[in-house]
Amino acid sequence: MSKSLTVTLPDGSRRSLPPGSSAMDLAATLGRRLAADAVAAAVDGQLVDLSRPLPDGATVAIVTADSDEGRAVLRHSTAHVLAQAVCTLWPGARYALGPAIADGFYYDFELPDGARFSDDDLVRIEAEMRRIIAEDQPFTREELDPEQARALFADQPYKREVIDAVTAGDPSAPPEAAADAQAGERLSVYRNGSAFVDLCRGPHVPSTGRLGHFALQRVAGAYWRGDEHRPQLQRVYGTAWESAEALQAHLDRLAEAERRDHRRLGQELDLFSFPAEVGPGLVLFHPRGGTVRRLMEEDARRTHERAGYHMVYSPHVTKQDLFARSGHLETFAESMYPPMELDEGQRYYLKPMNCPFHILVYRSRQRSYRELPLRLFELGTVYRYEKSGVVHGLTRVRGMTQDDAHVFCTREQMAGELEGILRLALGTLRDYGLADFYVELSTRPEGKALGTDQEWEEATAALAAAASAVGLETVLDEGGGAFYGPKVSVQVRDAIGRHWQVSTVQLDFQLPRRFELEYVGPDNARHRPVMIHRALFGSVERFLGILLEHTAGHLPTWLAPVQAAVLPVRDDHQGYAERVHSTLAGAGIRVELDPATEPLGARIRRRRLERVPYVLVVGQQDQEAGTVGVNRRGVEQPERDVPLDRLLDELVEEGLR
């Protein structure tokens, strides 16, 4: 028997340990601080518990609580403590799934006798969780065969369903099931002390005492396996971090995000609403919101005209055959609205995409290589039947207007077009004050992709090269491409550090083949064009929601629905205020007059809350000198005695596009 085992560390160095040594033993040899911070280990790339014996020859990395992987372990372990607390407080509760998620965790429950969680219950649950943590209960792993596991969870139907799905290799098993149980002949379970057991792949922290920096946040409804025809469970959300400081920083970010929530800003600034009578995910733009949207769309048209695009328009509905030929009906049907039967049984669909229509524009006549690249642009409204539980303000809607374009070009033109599109996208984002971004490259999806491996490799390489040419950091998104081709998406970081997907570019060799698109080349032979799908905003609605949250409602002056407000100090200054208003309006400034019907301070405060960039106060001295007092947004002290013509030049320069 060997007297030692040898493992390789991430830096390539090797350590010898006694046989049977665990990852925790290894961490102890590397330093007391590392051992104290360790929560799991990566053994040959697989996360395992610190207590797991190490195999000889393995490559081992110690995972600490302040890493992304370590936080996921903390959060999953805290989710188990949450489930234990609920089962203690509500004997007979059924528990479903409780994964770690971005910045937190959740667990789904069905309480006995139809009981519902209240806000006060969250306080009780959190107190019980802290009691469990204080007991420092060890997490211990066991492996069972399927029948043993079914017997163990005899009173937990959701766990039994997971066991059946995973052991059967059911492809329809939810992703959460694959994440929470180990497929194969044996299943793993974890116990917290002797009080609670859960079906789980792991790993977990060594004991509950390693936890504690957490907060429960809210309760929401969640259908079992995301199916609205299955039972609706109660989902408790929480967050957990490696330290009190990290937890507090996250809670502060959440508070700031709530302050910036575009749904609240939309109501406060009277931009848009979502009436229940209209339906989930369908937005009504009010006059001020309509102004912002109009300005965005006009700017998009000008940008595309300057870049050599041609405006087209397409209908909102079309026959089924078009989407059958494009492949959308086969791969996208679940996200499409149900068909309408018209014209003696002919099926029509609301369009989920604009691309098949642009293909028909290209195919409407024979094309020559001299016409390429042909760039077609449309502000096209599309409809997607998102589940009502996932619609979210402007950022997840059922009806959206895309600044959608499709470029038809030769293989030789492809690289230049891709690079030009990315430069156009980045310039557009910078125009709106979004300047911190990177690119995500999404590759071939499993199972449903059209085309050959060689075509996908060529398309993916071309997109990667274009991203590199414009100097963008690229992150790989394995399997995230569309069914017809890979894509790059520009991810922006907003003012509080969140990532948003905005502009997308997809390279497509497949739809030109499906629709038999051709052009006549200089050799007088017929050739197949390449098709590039791209959107700069993504959609007008989503982009506006992102912009509102990024700016906290302080839209750039050129985009603000009201750019200036004129406030006379007293009634006898009304006439001069009207002349100022008329002068600004005549120069194209969006200006409102706020008569002296209430105290001046109250009017100034209201206009500041409305995020008006310029609040102009005119009094007796201004009336005599032809000046105004200027309260600039974001500037604490007003500027007095500003000549009207100087202010007008400033407003025109900043406020017009």
Cβ(364)–Cβ(312) below 8 Å: no
355 is known to lie in a ligand binding site: yes
The two tokens of residue 90 are: 């509500």
Cβ(436)–Cβ(497) below 8 Å: no
C-alpha angle 647/652/657, rounded to 5°?
A: 160
Catalytic residue among 402, 413, 491, 623: 402
Burial of 256 (0-12, 13-18, 19+ CB in 10 A): middle
Whether residue 404 lies in the annotated active site = yes
What are 642's strand-pairing partners?
A: 628
DSSP structural state of residue 444: P
Name the one residue in this structure whose structure tokens are 């089924």. 320
Cβ(439)–Cβ(490) below 8 Å: yes
Sign of torsion, CA 166 168 169 170? negative
Whether residue 533 lies in the annotated active site = yes
Contacts of 229 (CB under 8 A, 6+ apart): 223
Name the one residue in this structure whose structure tokens are 């199916």. 227
Catalytic residue among 76, 406, 534, 611: 406
Find, among 129, 142, 132, 133, the residue nearest to 190 by Cα.
142
Question: What 3-state class would DSSP assign to 342?
Answer: strand
What region, left, alpha or beta, does residue 184 occupy, with left being phi > 0 and alpha being psi -120 to 50 degrees?
Answer: left
Rounded Cα distance between 273 and 286, Å, is: 8
The two tokens of residue 176 are: 């959460």
The two tokens of residue 19 are: 């046989």
**CB atoms < 10 A from the CB of 178, how many?**
14
Q: Are strands 346-350 and 310-311 parallel, antiparallel or unpaired?
A: unpaired
Catalytic residue among 87, 200, 355, 409: 355
> How many Cα atoms within 13 Å fall on the side-chain side of residue 607?
29
Find, among 555, 578, 583, the residue nearest to 566 by Cα.
578
Contacts of 260 (CB under 8 A, 6+ apart): 495, 496, 548, 549, 550, 552, 553
Q: Are strands 564-568 and 591-593 parallel, antiparallel or unpaired?
A: parallel
Whether residue 384 lies in the annotated active site = yes
Name the one residue in this structure whose structure tokens are 């393995």. 58
Whether residue 355 lies in the annotated active site = yes
Find, among 193, 202, 172, the residue nearest to 98 by Cα.
202
Rounded Cα distance between 360 and 313, Å, is: 12
Contacts of 380 (CB under 8 A, 6+ apart): 313, 314, 351, 354, 357, 401, 402, 404
533 is known to lie in a ligand binding site: yes
The two tokens of residue 586 are: 């005549």
How many helices (H) and strands (E) in the chain?
21, 33
Cβ(308)–Cβ(417) below 8 Å: no
The two tokens of residue 33 are: 């601080």
Catalytic residue among 198, 404, 494, 508: 404
Full DSSP string of 477-506: ETT-SBTTB-EEEEEEE-TTS-EEEEEEEE
Whether residue 250 lies in the annotated active site = no
328 is known to lie in a ligand binding site: no
Q: Which residue numbers belong to the known binding site?
A: 355, 406, 533
Q: Which residues are catalytic?
A: 355, 384, 402, 404, 406, 487, 533
Q: Which residue numbers belong to the known binding site for Zn(2+)?
A: 355, 406, 533
